[in-house]
A and B are shown apart, each in its own frame.
Chain A
């Protein structure tokens, strides 16, 4: 059984560009959360999706947006990239029938 799958694994973008990151949750999980992890820091919550709607949001600007599809997979979009957006972006999935959150290996985004 595959866990959380994220793509791509690495990405290099130029300032001002837009990027889309993808996440497939663990089988049986219906809730997807996105986190940003800067080097040497703990993950910071961006937002959570459930039933194709944003259920909760952290302190991130509107440049960060997302989507959840009927199959529970999710996308994270970041517009007008800044150098400070360089980070590891983690997707976590969860289920009401299972405790904890399962994380993917992340997408390493570098903005130059």
Chain B
């Protein structure tokens, strides 16, 4: 079956350091991947996404890398700040077709990122 998993359940960094959160997925048919940030008491917040025809995508302070050969996804956060402390989830969608948002997202269990001032 489909599954998305994370290698590290917790990650502690110092303010200003770069953070890397990893994710493994098992469905080679997955076409679309999203990273979400979830703070306590809130719903998941979109960070960045990437399609399977790309291997890297950059946003503001964040970069997502996709390695389809080993089915691995990572989120890099530059100059991590205390406000980045949250649970980070990767999610995959195997049925995303073009601009049509269709089908379910399969989430991993999450990585808790703690940023120390």
Contact = CB atoms under 8 A, between A and B. Distances in A.
Nearest to A88: B43
Interface string B77-96: 00000000000010100010
B103 interface: yes
Given A42-B89, A101-B34, A106 B43 contact: yes
A43 B101 contact: no
A103 B107 CA distance: 13
Which label, helix, strand, loop or mixed, suits the secondary structure of the A interface?
strand
B104 A48 contact: yes
A101 to B, nearest CB: 6
B44 A56 contact: no
6 contacts: A42-B89, A43-B105, A48-B102, A48-B103, A56-B103, A94-B101
A71 interface: no
Contacts of B43: 4, 90, 92, 103-106
Interface string A93-112: 01111111111111000000
A68 interface: no
